[in-house]
Structure 1
Amino acid sequence: MMNSPVLLKLVLAIVVASVGWRFLSDRLYSKHRVEIGGHVDPRFAAVRDVFLKNFENGWEIEGSAFAVYLDGKRVVDLWGGYADKQAARKWAEDTITVTFSTTKAVSALAVALLYERGQLDYNDTVAKFWPGFGKHGRGNVTINQALSHMSGMAWLDTPITEEIAADHERIREIFENEPPKWAPGTKAGYHAYTYGWILDQIVRHVDVQKRGIGQFFREEIAAKTGVDYHIGLPKSEQHRVARMSVPSMANRLDEMWYDTRVLKYLGSLFKLMKDHPLSKTVSRCTINNPDYHRLEQSAALGIGNARSLAGLFDQVIRGKLVSQKTLQVISSPFVNNTDFIFDDHVAKGHGFFYLPIQRAGTEYGFGHTGHGCQMIITDLKNKLTIAYVTNGLKTGLYDLCRTYSRLQNSVYDVVEKLELN
């Protein structure tokens, strides 16, 4: 047991080292006045003010981008801050970033397109196309259940290296040979990474050309919609990627001081330290590693920006990618219950989250949240699409992420005024 004087000295040394490092790190980069780029429709001028305020009051610790489409028109397209703060590299118009789990909604569009073409039905079993998935009692798992985090395969006992993650045949074998972690179809448990590999295998087994999700998305969706979004980033685009930074404890405490509900997300950090299902589902990878950006990981490693996310889903809700019939299918929840891994109530289905809006006559929108406060959401009634990305990660998500929440509110303030006029 360490005696008290030694312990006190150790604590003081840690404090001094921490303060010293902060003093030094503040001098590793040049400080610049906050600059905001982009444009807004004059009717949405107040949104720009809110975006700027996020930086001015210290809520944005790095950089971010925010985009809004209203019935096919880009009415907000803003960016600001740093793509790499320590290098003093500013966020530019073409900066892109890892969008984490918003990737799930983007990749789900590939399945929607296969549904649109009559190549699968959401009620089909996964095993109908991928027989090996039916092992270990998974024979009755439907595609919609798999995309709604109900397959029982939220984590894998086999350690997944970068080499394995890049080998779709090896991934297929691992899924076929591992038993589910709970009775498939009985409850929802968030498949943080495994969702992407399951979806990739569904696309590979259904697509006539047997393309993986990265190639399928690039050729059938990105090329046809003109969006700057990638599932498997080409090396030639690496120079545009923003560098991620995690929030300090002071940042987290400040978020909680602003809204105590954020405490529930802070609790997730403690679950990651224990033998909890959440710690098994979330990979501790270094997200700034460029080699990971090459992976076709359709659950968490999609790379784009707010403009590309909002632009893509604007085209979706206007029937430019799938028909209105398919849109009505994918915009309706499949399950609406408590996710036992997140310990949070969220409606899911078809690869999307369905999140409450309760503004401008809209009950909910569909899209997806992403780690650190990334966001894509669509409002069918108002033909409105909103997207936000940031490389300065936050603790809260969606309406508990203060930078995003007040941006969304500012958008709806305008939309509601437009309805009255």
Structure 2
Amino acid sequence: MGFVRTAFVGLGLAFLLNQLASRFYTVLPSPIGGHVDKQFELVEAAFRKNFHDGWERDGASFVVYHKGKKVVDLWGGYADTASLRKWKEDTISVVFSSTKAVAALCVALLVDRGQLKYDDLVTKHWPEFGKHGKENVTVQWVMSHMAGLAYVDEAISEEDALDHKRLARIFEEQKPNWPPGTATGYHAFTYGWLVDQLIRRVDPQKRGIGQFFREDIAQPNNIDFHIGLPKEEQYRVARTTIPSITDSISEMMSDYRVFMLLVSVTKVLMLSDSPMSRIMKNPNWLQTFGVNTYNNPDHHRMEQGANLGIGNARSLAQTFQLVLDGKIIKKETLLQFSKPFINEIDLVMGLTMAKGQGLVFEPLGRKHAEKTDYFCGHPGYGGQNVNFDLKNNLVLAYVNNGLKTGMGGLVRTYIRLRDAVYDVIEQDSYNTN
């Protein structure tokens, strides 16, 4: 506790110095666009406050569907603060690991069509995969990060990432990081490549994940989300920025759990042979430490279903509202899709995480919520979030390009917005009753 107390004192002093220093800089105006239904004006106020308080240093979008209706559609700030390029209605951005929710939906669609089952052995569709003790790996284990393939030993180059046959051989020859099925550990990058390999083998047309999503989900429903961005759409992409030390300090001062998370992750990364450190080293060309290679347009062309999806809050929310409406997968598939498969400590993250079918599940944590009530979806690095709540018939999505230190339920900008939404619908429910 002495270490934590001393650290907080140091953080407090640094935060005060940061606040003093900020007075010497011009504060840019924060243009806000969009609309909200009248009863959700509290949410717009929260969105504006994020900018007013300096919590959104660049740009963001936030969209809410409630009971099948879009009630919030907001965007604001800058797609590129350095050039004063404003975040517009059609601005899109890298959503990092929130891409995994979209990839999970592609697999769910194959399940819905009867072409795949979650309890299928991977070798049923990909026989060569079963080498080196991987013969018992199921599709569900891949989707729940239990395949023991959180990292691979062979370096994956940018050229490899563009060659699905080469990637297949790398995963076929890889020995599991731990006995498959015995534990869960976040497959930060490998999830995307493994899901792509499954889709290529199960889909009758043998399409990759980007083409499959585009042709079977995005285009039929006019969804502006991309796994493999067309070159002609590059001009709309926001430039992401890494949080500075002072940005991180500000977040930690707002919520001590961000500090504890950062300490925990730092400890894991300092262990040279830890799964986390191995993951961050390969591929070495996808980085947000020191440099930010996620702004490289060449990477935006890749069909990487783990962390290179590009869209905005509108496209993510629209996608999962269509799921709730039964327009992409059937209701019975949705019930299977929206239940955790495993809930235990993640070997990579060092945190207890509920997972299943490619989604992450977070307890609602509201006053009237039950233990079995979850936010279903997936967080992404820097604060991205897409969640749906079956109990309240609700979909929320948040995308920002001024990346945050916290993640998931520890992103203060998103939590302020999410709390505002629930304050509205819970009050509305109380008044209705």
Shared fold by TM > 0.5?
A: yes
The CA deviation at 1:229 is: 0.2
Aligned residue number for residue 413 of structure 1? 423
Q: In structure 1, what residue type is equivalent to 2:278?
A: K
Q: Deviations over 1:162-210 (max 9, x none)?
A: 1110100000000001111111111001000000000000000101010
Shift of 1:273: 4.6
Deviation at 1:327, TM superposition (A): 0.4
Asked if 1:272 is matched to 2:279, the reply is no
Alignment partner, residue 5 of structure 2: none
| Structure 1 segment 71-220 matched on structure 2, within 5 A | 71-220=67-216
Shift of 1:399: 2.0
2:193 maps to amino acid: W
Residue 116 of structure 2 aligns to which amino acid in structure 1? L
Deviations 1:131-153 (A, max 9, x none): 11111111111100111001011
- Where does 1:324-335 land on structure 2 (aligned, <5 Å)? 324-335=331-342
Deviation at 1:105, TM superposition (A): 0.6
Q: 2:42 aligns with which of 41, 46, 69?
A: 46
Which residue of structure 2 lines up, in the alignment, with residue 7 of structure 1? Answer: none
Provide the aligned C-alpha RMSD in A. Answer: 1.7
Determine the C-alpha separation between the residues in 2 that align with 1:188 and 1:237: 37
Q: Residue 304 of structure 1 aligns with which residue?
A: 311
Q: Does 1:401 align with 2:411?
A: yes
Residue 376 of structure 2 aligns to which amino acid in structure 1? F
Q: Give the number of equivalent residue pairs.
A: 397
**Tell me, what secondary structure is at the counterpart of 1:124?**
coil
Aligned counterparts, 1:247-262, within 5 A:
247-262=243-258
Structure 1 unmatched ranges of 5 or more? 1-18
* 1:281 aligned partner: 279
Moved more, 340-349 or 266-275: 266-275
Query: How far did residue 31 of structure 1 move?
Result: 6.0
Distance 2:369 2:354 in 1: 19
Post-superposition offset of 1:381: 1.5
Map of 2:60 onto structure 1:
64
CA contact (8 A) 1:68 1:310 kept: yes
Residue pair 1:222, 1:229 contacting (<8 A) in 2 also? yes
**Deviation digits for residues 21-61 of structure 1, max 9, x if unmatched?**
x99x97xxx96411111000101001000000001111111
Shift of 1:336: 0.5
Q: Distance in 2 between matches of 1:295 and 1:205?
A: 19
Q: Pick the aligned partner of 1:369 from 369, 379, 393.
A: 379
Structure 2 distance, partners of 1:361, 1:161, is 46
Distance in structure 2 (CA, Å) of the matches to 1:411 and 1:303: 25
Structure 2 equivalent of residue 323 of structure 1: 330
Counterpart residue type for residue 73 of structure 2? D
TM-score normalised by L of structure 2: 0.89
Structure 1 Cα separation of the partners of residues 277 and 100 of structure 2: 20
Q: Supply the distance in 2 between the matched residues of 1:367 and 1:225 (Cα, whole angstroms).
A: 20
Q: TM (normalized to structure 1)?
A: 0.92
Cα displacement (A) at 1:247: 0.6
Asked if the contact 1:190/1:342 (under 8 Å) is kept, the reply is yes
The 1-side partners of 2:321 and 2:375 are apart by 13
- Deviation string for 1:267-315 (max 9, x for gaps)? 3245335412112123442111000000000000000000000011011
SS in 1 for 2:206: coil
* Cα deviation, residue 358, structure 1: 2.9
Contact 1:230 1:302 in 2 (8 A): yes
Q: How far does residue 326 in structure 1 lie from its aligned partner after superposition?
A: 0.2
Moved more, 167-176 or 279-288: 279-288
Percent of residue pairs bearing the same amino acid type? 53
Q: Are 2:378 and 1:382 aligned?
A: no
Does the alignment pair 1:245 with 2:241?
Answer: yes
Cα distance in 1, alignment partners of residues 102 and 37 from structure 2: 26
Hey, what's the Cα distance between the residues in 2 that align with 1:113 and 1:65?
A: 27
